[in-house]
Amino acid sequence: MKEDPLRKNNNELQEILKRYENLKKGRSQSYIDEESFEKIIDYFDEKEDMGSALEAAEKGAEQYPFSATMIIRKADLLIATHKYREALSLLDHAATLDSGDINVYILKTDAYLALDKQEKAVAILEQALSLFSGEERISLLFELADVYDDYQEFEKVFDCLKLILEQEPNNEEALYKICFWTDFTGRNEESIKLHQKIIDEFPYNDLAWFNLAAAYQGIKLYEKALDAYQYAIAINEKFDYAYRNMGDAYIRLKKYKEAIDVLQKVLELTKPEALIYEALGYCYDKLHNNGQARFYYRKASHISPDDSKLYYKIACTYFNEGQWESAVKQLEAALKIHRHQTEYNLLMGECKMQQEFYKDAIHYFSTVVTTRPKNKKGWESLIRCLYKAGYFEEAKDQAVAALKISSGQPIFLYYISAILFALGKTKEGILQLEHAMAKAPKQVKSFVELNPSILQNHHVVGVISRFKKRR
């Protein structure tokens, strides 16, 4: 029967540790080779016994004073215990023994970064880039990219990843990372050229097709992006991020049915996400299918119950159908989370106004005006509500205030005119109407919408006709 390899390795380690204890106690015949010292260091390191690991590294360095490996291991442990300057001194010594060990440069970088000496860390890595090639050079470029990321030199992160892909076009880590940094830095044109070159050489690289598509999407070339995503999913039919981005591209192109198809594919491939359900709800919303929109918004809200905008969107679907009470319930949930959100208060006010609960509506519109005094829509809604409720004097006061705050927006002149007519002040109403028509004749529809029967007044019809003839 064969011996269990794990048990054999454990027995060997126990034997090495026994010899190491004998060596520490000064007993004879306690020779330990370099490889065994590394195993001892690893043993204590894995147990997170840094003191014992460092002691073993020191013993190893004493036994093998010309071993760069032992010195590097000791330096690594010194960095882990925050003894950066001592580690740097050892690494300088290790470099004289073996300048071809990449760990010298990576550990020096770590030490300099810990000492907040970014320039020296960059200089070390740039020096090392000229000494190494192949996989080691790629490792150094990733290290350099991380340094630039930490110090917010984001353009240089992109440069490092580009160099990696020019050397190794199929490097998955670099392909994943450069997609993010392309979007972050906005270097979409460079990314397009880089990935076109990769695709020419490796036409079945699905990540390269995806990155090409994402770069096109970044400069709003959505049709080209969709073509590239189609290649990505043809190569990898389970590429859920490609379907996800296709959904966004179709939405941008207002192709909502196509967006629904690819977003449904995302749900097939991944676990449910609020963002995908919300996007599906949005598509159905745009297709005026309130029931389906509501269905997906609800699914999204079950995953993200603290996202107030989902309750607001559900409320909008009810509002579109004239289901005021159902809309109010959803808005109450939204307002519990964000009490002063402008859109929520405006819609709640509209619902209450439709139900003829004017005092409640005034409360919500007043909240908007108080918290967002520059919000034109809030003032319009408040004045309309006061007018419909028959509070004409208050409506006039608010319209005058709105006119002043909005620097003379013509719509408020129209509202003042309508209110003056309602108060029986016909001459003043005509003057305000003429003033408004002179400024913005196209906005007269807001004046008529406030009280359609106003067109029965021949004075009003006369003013409107006169300005139409002038135009």
Using an 8 Å Cβ cutoff, are 191 and 215 in contact?
Answer: yes
Q: What is the pLDDT of residues 402-437, one digit of tens each?
A: 999 999 999 999 999 999 999 999 999 999 999 999
Q: What is the pLDDT of residue 17?
A: 75
Residue 295 has pLDDT above 70, yes or no: yes
CA atoms within 13 A on the CB side of 165: 30
Which two tokens mark 250? 């179709």
Residue 158 has pLDDT above 60, yes or no: yes
Closest CA to 341 of 318, 309, 297: 309
Phi-psi region of 27 (alpha: psi -120 to 50; beta: other; left: phi over 0): beta
Q: Phi and psi at residue 27, in whole multiples of 5°? A: -75, 150
Q: Phi and psi at residue 408, in whole multiples of 5°? A: 80, 35
Domains located in the chain, CATH noted: 153-270 (1.25.40.10), 416-471 (no CATH)
| Mean pLDDT of the region 35-54 | 78
Give the DSSP letter string of 396-407.
HHHHHHHHHHTT
The neighbour count for residue 45, using CB atoms within 10 Å, is 19
Please state, rounded to an integer, the average pLDDT across all residues of the chain: 91
Percent of the chain with pLDDT over 90: 68
Residue 6 has pLDDT above 60, yes or no: no
Q: What is the pLDDT of residue 39?
A: 81
| Mean pLDDT of the region 2-26 | 66
Distance CA 22, CA 37 (A): 14
Most confident of the following: 95-99, 118-122, 152-156: 152-156
Closest CA to 74 of 90, 92, 57: 57
Q: What is the pLDDT of residue 255?
A: 98
Q: What is the pLDDT of residues 210-232, one digit of tens each?
A: 999 999 999 999 999 999 999 99
Record the pTM.
Answer: 0.82
The pLDDT confidence band at residue 131, using thresholds 50, 70 and 90, is confident
Residue with more model confidence, 191 or 33:
191
Q: What is the pLDDT of residue 173?
A: 97
Q: What is the pLDDT of residue 1?
A: 41
| Mean pLDDT of the region 123-134 | 87
